[in-house]
């Protein structure tokens, strides 16, 4: 029955209204539902399984080798765990483990000098990369919106070429009869070629060039989201440009600064290719020392101890910094 009081327009509207659709939803505990119990469990387990397989297990293996002693065998260390005997084989091998390799690292000044030299080179390289990368990232963030994708592509463009080939290219640039010396002599800046290759300067150049994108991209990410109204407000209040930059821009870009410094400093400490090709034998870094112990001396236990100490030197400051940031955020809340 149709209500006689309804007009023709109301009838047309009632006829054109589609019936409500009932969308199918995944059950709450379904693995395909990320908000369900199984979905949350999978999201939590994936990163932990990744860390277990590719960080914790190799770390335990290297730590076990560092407690062994070098031997002329395959593998070149003893004792080797006899897994066929189960727990008994593990217990017999553990009784022969010792800290002699770590004690050796403290007695031989070669290793601690390599650690200090690596930390120094990585620290200075990180500062120089920051000083060069910050203006680049700031210019990219302030560029017209249509230019920014092209500028980002230009930053990551070197990654399309092999890292080893790019380092080899610097040999042709920095050597005595290379492109740099030839250009400087041609324009009359110098009269004799500069000795740059096989020095610490060449190592700094190689590290800064290779890791500059790792500094620029986090900085650009922070500066691109910067609220420009805060800068305008500071200028309206009479704040000089340099003070506005130091008191407004730098604090807001600090997350990008910290991320970029970590991304440059950590791999630079253990760098091997750049100091080996550009620094020569005069450059002492822990990455080269580690390579010599593993492949030249075949002293896997000492090399493993060097790697463990290097990992501790890098991980502990990061954990302390994260703990400090967590406490500060909790205090702000």
Per-residue pLDDT reduced to its tens digit, 168-208? 999 999 999 999 999 999 998 889 999 999 899 999 999 99
Confidence band (pLDDT; 50, 70, 90) for 166? very high
Residue 8 has pLDDT above 80, yes or no: no
CB-based burial label for 228 (10 Å; 0-12, 13-18, 19+): exposed
Instruction: Give the pLDDT mean for 244-270.
Output: 92
Instruction: Give the pLDDT mean for 82-86.
Output: 75
Confidence band (pLDDT; 50, 70, 90) for 118? very high
Q: How far is it, in rounded angstroms, from Cα 237 to Cα 244?
A: 10
DSSP states of 15-60: HHSPPPP------TT-TT-TTSHHHHHHHHHHHHHHHIIIIIHHHH
Q: How far is it, in rounded angstroms, from Cα 301 to Cα 79?
A: 11
Residue 2 has pLDDT above 70, yes or no: no
Model pLDDT, residue 163: 92
Percentage of the chain with pLDDT > 70? Answer: 88
Instruction: Give the pLDDT mean for 104-111.
Output: 90
Q: How far is CA 322 from the centre of its chain?
A: 15
Joined together, the tokens standing for residue 33 give 């539902």
Joined together, the tokens standing for residue 189 give 């800046």
Q: How far is it, in rounded angstroms, from Cα 134 to Cα 223?
A: 9
Instruction: Give the pLDDT mean for 130-136.
Output: 95
More confident residue, 3 or 219: 219
Domains and CATH numbers, the chain: 108-332 (1.10.3720.10)
Model pLDDT, residue 21: 55
243, 133 in Cβ contact below 8 A? no
Q: CB under 8 Å to 202, separation ≥6 — which residues?
A: 170, 174, 196, 278, 279
Model pLDDT, residue 274: 94
Of the CA atoms within 13 Å of residue 9, those in its CB half-sphere come to 0
Residue 27 has pLDDT above 80, yes or no: no
Average pLDDT of the residues of the chain? 85
Instruction: Give the pLDDT mean for 231-242.
Output: 85
Model confidence, pTM: 0.80
Instruction: Give the pLDDT mean for 311-329.
Output: 82
Model pLDDT, residue 55: 86
Give the dihedral sign, CA 10/15/18/19.
positive
Model pLDDT, residue 35: 56
Model pLDDT, residue 6: 46
Residue 127 has pLDDT above 80, yes or no: yes
Model pLDDT, residue 19: 55
More confident residue, 333 or 313: 313
Q: Which of 216, 214, 306, 220 is nearest to 267 (CA)?
A: 214
Q: What are phi and psi of 77, to 5 degrees?
A: -160, 155
Joined together, the tokens standing for residue 66 give 């560092």
- Max distance between CA atoms of the chain, in angstroms, equals 106
Confidence band (pLDDT; 50, 70, 90) for 226? confident
- Count of CB atoms situated within 10 Å of the CB of 307: 21
77 forms beta bridges with 70
Q: What are phi and psi of 78, to 5 degrees?
A: -135, 150
Residue 11 has pLDDT above 50, yes or no: no
Residue 289 has pLDDT above 80, yes or no: yes
């Amino acid at each position: 029955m149709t209500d006689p009081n309804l007009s023709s327009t109301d009838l047309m509207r009632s006829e054109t209204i589609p019936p409500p659709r009932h969308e199918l939803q995944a059950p709450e505990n379904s693995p395909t539902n990320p908000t369900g119990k199984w979905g949350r469990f999978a999201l939590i387990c994936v990163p932990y399984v990744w860390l277990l397989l590719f960080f914790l297990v190799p770390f335990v293996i290297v730590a076990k080798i560092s407690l062994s002693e070098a031997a002329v065998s395959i593998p070149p260390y003893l004792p080797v765990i006899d897994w066929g005997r189960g727990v008994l084989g593990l217990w017999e091998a553990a009784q022969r483990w010792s800290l002699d390799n770590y004690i050796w690292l403290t007695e031989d000044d070669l290793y601690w000098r390599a650690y200090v030299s690596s930390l120094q080179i990585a620290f200075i390289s990180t500062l120089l990369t920051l000083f060069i990368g910050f203006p680049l990232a700031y210019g990219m963030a302030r560029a017209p919106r249509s230019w920014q994708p092209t500028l980002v592509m230009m930053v990551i463009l070197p990654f399309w070429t092999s890292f080893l080939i790019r380092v080899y290219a610097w040999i042709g640039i920095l050597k005595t009869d290379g492109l740099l010396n030839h250009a400087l002599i041609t324009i009359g800046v110098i009269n004799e070629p500069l000795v740059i290759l096989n020095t610490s300067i060449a190592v700094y150049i190689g590290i800064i060039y290779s890791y500059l994108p790792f500094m620029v991209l986090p900085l650009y990410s922070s500066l691109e989201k910067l609220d420009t109204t805060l800068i305008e407000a500071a200028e309206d209040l009479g704040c000089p440009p340099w003070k506005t930059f130091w008191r407004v821009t730098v604090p807001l870009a600090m997350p990008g600064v910290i991320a970029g410094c970590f991304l440059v400093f950590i791999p630079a400490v253990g760098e091997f290719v750049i100091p080996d090709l550009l620094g020569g034998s005069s450059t002492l870094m822990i990455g080269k020392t580690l390579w010599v112990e593993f492949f030249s001396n075949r002293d896997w236990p000492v090399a493993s101890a060097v790697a463990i100490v290097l990992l501790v030197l890098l991980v502990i400051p990061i954990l302390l910094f994260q703990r400090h940031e967590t406490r500060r955020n909790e205090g702000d809340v």
